[in-house]
Amino acid sequence: MARRAEKAQRTRAQIEMALIRLLARQPYGAISMSAIARGAGISARTIQRQYGSKDDVLVASLRHAGAALADELSGRPEPASAPEAIRQLVGTMYALYNRYRPEIWAAYSRGDEVPQLAVAVMSAMHAWNSAIDKVLDGCVEELTVDRGEAKRALAALTSYQTWRGTMGPGGFGSPEAEEFVTGLLEWYLLRQRPSRS
């Protein structure tokens, strides 16, 4: 029985991710249930048994955004130091951006067209901000900048847009981009620097 439930869950995830990937290439209104089925490598009948409509598939797929980040972060051990906490946050975010590249691009590029995608982005951003707050809670004593500035720096340098910039043409590539961003954050947040005039 457990195997059947696991298989059904994997099938649902394939269907939901297939829709999100299709959204990266075409408008929501142009996507058919049969296209979703082809993208998931299953029959259209399977989708019809699992979901009532394309909208139901979309709504279900939105759960992945915040859940994926929360799952990734909860599976990691508690960091022993501020540098380790920063490294872990950057590593987690970059791993998720790499793993869900087409889905994240779809959410960002089609968010205006499909309001539900904007909701998914907001859910993921909430989980991301919670992760940043947790890092800051653990290293507040070691910060050399105020908490607000530290949060802005962590948000800016672990954002999807920064990841795209560091990984894109002329960028660092992986894992160099992750090392660069981690080093920059450690230097900026944890090292004494001359004060600005």
Mean pLDDT of 112-132: 78
Q: Which residues contact 72 (CB under 8 A, 6 or more apart)?
A: 92, 95, 96
Per-residue pLDDT at 150: 95
Residue 173 token pair? 């590539």
Per-residue pLDDT at 197: 45
Residue 189, amino acid: L
30 burial via Cβ count (<10 Å: 0-12, 13-18, 19+): exposed
Q: Tell me, yes or no, if the pTM score tops 0.85.
A: no
The whole-angstrom separation of Cα 92 and Cα 86 is 10
Residue 39 token pair? 């993208």
* Residues constituting the chain: 197
- Condensed to tens digits (0 to 9), the pLDDT of residues 4-19 reads 888 888 888 889 888 8
The whole-angstrom separation of Cα 122 and Cα 36 is 24
C-beta separation of 158 from 93 below 8 A: yes
Residue spans of alpha helices (H) in the chain: 2-23, 33-40, 44-50, 54-61, 63-74, 82-99, 101-110, 115-139, 147-157, 160-167, 176-190
Mean pLDDT of 13-38: 86
Domain 2-58 = CATH 1.10.357.10: yes
